[in-house]
Amino acid sequence: SNPLRPILWIAHSLGGIIVKEALTIANREYQAYPTISSFTNAIFFLAVPHNGSPYASCGVFASTIAQAFTFQPDNSYLASVVPGSDYNKELNSRFQPLLQHYKFYTWIEGRPVPNIGLIVPEDSAKLGLSAPHEVCRFTERNHRNICQFSDENDLEWLVLSANISKAASDATTSFNYSPTLNRFQDLLEVKHHCAPYAGGVSEATNEAQTIVETMNMFQNSPELLEMERRAGSASEAALSLAKLLLAVITPIIHFLSSSPVAALGSLLLSTLLVALPDKNELLEKAEEGRQAEETIMEVEDWAIEMLNGQQRAALLASDHLQQAVDRIELQDTHEEHCLLLAKARLLQQEIQTLVMRNTQNIHERQIKYQRAERVVKRIQDVKKEVEGKDKKETYKHLAGQVTLFRKSGWCPEACVIL
């Protein structure tokens, strides 16, 4: 019933591939589900073939998996664990940015499946992260029984359950849940676990009410509106420059791609270049674009920092409120408590709504920041690349870069300003 509860994923074999796919979808730029990816705290990977399995292509993997699954895995997922497969490479590439967000528990099969061998070898099961970011355990189990236990006293179950309990404790005593959280950095810092809340429902309600008012007021605060105005002006400037450069470079791309005779194309290009801005003017426009993008980065960075602070305060207030309500509900509820409890529950729902909205807001701002950051870096790179080139070679180089970025799926506004 609480969408803000921390999430622990526990996945075996192909289940780990599905978890990775789900989290990359949840974290994508468009149609994202940022609360799922943001409130994930840790992932347990039990014999997951991150880099494929040597038995994937000969049917052994499929038959082994079939005995562990209660359903028949789809062939596309079986194909995904072929070492070096396109899907395997592509998924690992998409999951790479998420490695810093979570803590990982990696269980490695230490025994071969009889008459077959190790289905997922160590180098495929491990993510290759340093401790405490990734906790690794070599088990005395094979691929089939690594997630099967004889009873509650089974040694492997005792070790796994202890780690699950530790992960759950860490997850529920942390309030740093945000699309921008670096879980690796969070693990390295000294963590101050919160003591049980000693206040009553009235105190917790007042704390929650204060943070709700703060979050609502921030959305219409003069400071935020001024920063949004700066970002809007910078975006308009960047877009205007993009349209200008698009108008300049598009004819060059046309001549370079459509002229059947190289000499004729070169002549037409030289004629066209006479009417175009010189190299220095072009670089000045690029510098204006870089400054506009850096303004966007500055605004989004400021807003994300403010929203993250509110996020932590809201989650802490929600936790205090829940603890206070739980204590009252364990006792005989007096009539005077009923109104307080009703107000507390409404506040809990309001905080949940605000945090979900806040999480989406942070996610969208992070995307804007990262886009601007990419553009700034590319402008800097291209300026270095055209050093020593004359006007003609500079325009040809820029036209080639625009063509490449269009093919790679970048939006016209982003690639043309480069």
- Tens digit of each residue's pLDDT (9 = 90 or more) over 306-333: 999 999 999 999 999 989 888 887 776 6
Q: Over the chain, what is the mean pLDDT?
A: 82
Residue 13 gets the label, from left (phi > 0), alpha (psi -120 to 50) or beta, of left
Q: Return the bridge partners of 138, or none.
A: 108
CB atoms within 10 A of CB 48: 28
The three-class DSSP label of residue 273 is: helix
Give the residue, 2 or 170, on which the prediction is more confident.
Answer: 170
Q: pLDDT tens across 133-161, in order? A: 999 999 999 998 999 999 999 999 999 99
Residue 362, classified by CB atoms within 10 Å of its CB into exposed (0-12), middle (13-18) or buried (19+), is buried
Q: What is the pLDDT of residues 23-79, one digit of tens each?
A: 999 988 776 788 899 999 999 999 999 998 887 655 555 555 555 455 555 555 666
**What is the rounded average pLDDT of the residues 381-387?**
87
Rounded to an integer, the average pLDDT of 264-284 is 71
In tens, the pLDDT along 331-348 reads 766 666 788 888 888 999
Q: What tens digit of pLDDT does each residue of 184-235 get?
A: 566 555 454 456 888 888 999 999 999 999 999 999 999 999 999 999 999 8
Residue with tokens 């347990």: 44
CB 167 within 8 A of CB 132: no
Q: Which amino acid does the sequence have at 76?
A: S
How many other CB atoms are there within 10 angstroms of residue 189's CB atom? 8
pTM of the model as a whole: 0.79
For the chain, what is the radius of gyration of the CA atoms?
A: 28
First to last CA, the chain: 47
Which residue in this structure is represented by tokens 């009703």?
Answer: 342
191 compared with 1, residue with greater pLDDT: 1
Q: What sign does the dihedral 195-201-207-209 (CA atoms) show? A: positive
Please list, residue by residue across 373-384, b when 16 or more beta carbons sit within 10 angstroms of its beta carbon and e when fewer do.
bebbebbeebee
Give the list of residues 6+ apart from residue 292 with CB closer than 8 angstroms, or none: 234, 235, 237, 238, 241
Write out pLDDT tens, residues 72-124.
555 556 666 778 778 888 899 999 999 988 999 999 999 998 888 899 999 99
Q: What is the mean pLDDT of residues 240-249?
A: 72
Name the percent of the chain lying above pLDDT 90.
Answer: 44
Sequence letter at residue 22:
A
**Which of these, 378, 82, 15, lies nearest to 90 by C-alpha position?**
82
Q: How far is CA 237 from the centre of its chain?
A: 29
User: Strand 40-46's sheet: what is its strand order?
Assistant: 7-12, 40-46, 103-108, 134-138
CB 111 within 8 A of CB 122: no
Residue 414's pLDDT is 42
Task: Report the alpha-carbon distance of residue 238 to residue 241 in Å, rounded.
Answer: 5
Q: Answer whether 79's CB lies under 8 Å from 20's CB.
A: no
